[in-house]
Structure 1
Amino acid sequence: MNSTEIGTQAFQKVLGASDKAHYFLNQFNLKNQPFEILDIILVAILIYWVYLILRETRAMRILYGIIVLVVIMVLGRLLQLQALNFILTYVLAALVVAIPVVFQPELRAALEKLGRTKFVGEFGGMKKDKLQEIVTEILSALDYFSENKRGAIIVLTRQTGLRDVILTGVRLDADISKQLLITIFSPKTPLHDGAVIISGDKIVAANCWLPLTEQEFKYDLGTRHRAASGITTDTDAIVLVVSEETGKISLAIGGNLTTDLKTGQLKDLLTKILQHKIEGVAS
């Protein structure tokens, strides 16, 4: 086969790929098929939702690798590269089986969030004055814990339900107050070791046990901080932690910890987060 024939065949493959791409694009006649617009929007939302779940996990790098393989496979089919297509077909078939295993933690977290999500959070529909009153009571308790180096962990629920966590503790359903929080976390009470769960304007439960994170941090963390990171990785809850060793206050959102905060910094920030005006803070 001479160079002219090789060039002709390559040109025909490119033309064939162009025709296939043109045919594919022609399938989306958006002027006459409004449901196809909705279809594209829904697919885009789904892809973006998956991206938001995976973007801060180790699975994101694996996903990038899969995307590269898919792009190569599409190009191989368009250019009719048979050997490459043969190999990638079996590779992708194996990945279909491997993905649920590799992404198991991320898939579980995503399905839990989807299944437990409410349309309005526990604090979202609350009047501003009432919300500020609750935040003030909580922060006053945190000031006391910080000054006296008393360990504490307080979980504020948002849209994701925490029923499984609540069942591990003691049900209270009490009004939120500084004095009650101080009493709960007193070393002499049987409730002080676990977490307090707050939902809306109630202290729902105390002495609750939270899942510990497996995430690696640059600095050593105690059990309370690891629990705060763990529960906020799997849910949209906000967790406030006071270190028993240093008295420093930390805030956990989305698995990220912001440490050494003052209650003055937290007041406006916490109010805005609970009202859904901002998503959170960087670690």
Structure 2
Amino acid sequence: MPLIDESILRYLSSAVDIAIVWFIVYKIILIVQGTKAVQLLKGVTVIIAVKYLSAYFNLYTLERLMQEAINYGLLAVIIIFQPEVRRALEQLGRGRLFSRSTVHEEDEVMMNIEAIAKATEYMAKRRIGALISIERDTGMSDYVETGIPMNAKLSSELLINIFIPNTPLHDGAVILKKGEILAAACYLPLSENPFISKELGTRHRAALGISEVTDSLTVIVSEETGVISLTKNSELHRDITSEELKSLLVKEMHVNMKPTTSSKWYKRGTK
């Protein structure tokens, strides 16, 4: 007589199988969260829902159309989201898809956050306008190409020098990625949201615009008031201190350091 009943083994096997599948789905959701792929998943959900509803109500033409969209959708997804798919496969090849950041990586991220906060505080006190966009999962190569390539190591001093008025690079945005200044004087898309406060200038509209199409974090220093702001996922956080900025960056970049700010995100267009 076997030590464990076969039916129990089948239940255990099914439970492990379901747990592994849900874990993979959960990790995939974390990867696509805050990227353009989220909108894709919403679109796929709508197409599937329409297909089943059309089948239920015997709408044969619509059902056939939705089925064709599903059949050819996979190829379209691979083509449209090629950078995201490539990045996920690269992470899988390096064994990093399910891993957390190492201590060394987190120390480096904290150094970069300190440099951004220090430069922002300096410029805010002197009312030097600035626009700093931090690339995350969604690639920003299209916007990097609109500026002047730098490929320089990030430092607070270099950031400050870039935005000094009446210099060749001060007009436009700086785009950062993993401790590197990719380019300066970059053009970012302006938000078309009609509910944005009229008192917000071009820098804030550009910061909101890039946050609507990527998952980047964008820091703004107002030239008129010296006020520091931050945008993320079409949300604007206004009038924050350098310490609050540092805490928000720590939180959003998933560094193991407990944020000290208790402030909340404000939806775009709020004052």
1:282 partner letter: W
* C-alpha separation in 2, matches of 1:159 and 1:42: 20
Tell me which of 121, 144, 152 is aligned to 2:130.
152
Let me know the Cα RMSD of the aligned residues.
4.4
Matches within 5 A, 1:134-145: 134-145=112-123
Tell me which of 199, 205, 209 is aligned to 1:226.
205
Task: Indicate the residue corresponding to 2:237 in structure 1.
Answer: 258
C-alpha displacement at 1:40, in angstroms? 7.8
* C-alpha separation in 2, matches of 1:107 and 1:214: 29
Matches within 5 A, 1:1-283: 69-70=50-51, 72-74=53-55, 76=56, 84-85=57-58, 87=59, 89-93=60-64, 113-115=84-86, 119=91, 124-125=101-102, 126-220=104-198, 221-275=200-254, 282-283=265-266
* C-alpha separation in 1, matches of 2:33 and 2:162: 40
1:219 partner letter: S
2:109 partner letter: L
C-alpha displacement at 1:257, in angstroms? 1.6
> Cα distance 1:264–1:142, how it changes in 2: closer, same or farther (>3 A)?
same
2:207 and 2:231 in contact (8 A); partners too: yes
C-alpha displacement at 1:272, in angstroms? 3.0
* C-alpha separation in 1, matches of 2:177 and 2:13: 49
2:36 and 2:138 in contact (8 A); partners too: no
C-alpha displacement at 1:190, in angstroms? 0.8
* C-alpha separation in 2, matches of 1:114 and 1:124: 20
C-alpha displacement at 1:233, in angstroms? 2.6
C-alpha displacement at 1:72, in angstroms? 4.1
Q: Give the length in aligned residue pairs.
A: 234
With structure 1 as the length reference, what TM-score do the two structures score?
0.62
Query: Helix, strand or coil for the counterpart of 1:232?
Result: helix
In structure 1, the gaps of 5 or more residues are: 1-28, 77-83, 100-105
> Cα distance 1:219–1:108, how it changes in 2: closer, same or farther (>3 A)?
farther
> Cα distance 1:131–1:238, how it changes in 2: closer, same or farther (>3 A)?
same
With structure 2 as the length reference, what TM-score do the two structures score?
0.64
> Cα distance 1:46–1:201, how it changes in 2: closer, same or farther (>3 A)?
closer
Please list the CA deviations of residues 16-42 of structure 1 after superposition, one character each: whole Å capped at 9, or x if unmatched.
Answer: xxxxxxxxxxxxx999999x9699869
- Work out the percentage of aligned pairs sharing the same amino acid: 33
1:255 partner letter: S
Query: Helix, strand or coil for the counterpart of 1:214?
Result: coil
1:185 and 1:192 in contact (8 A); partners too: yes
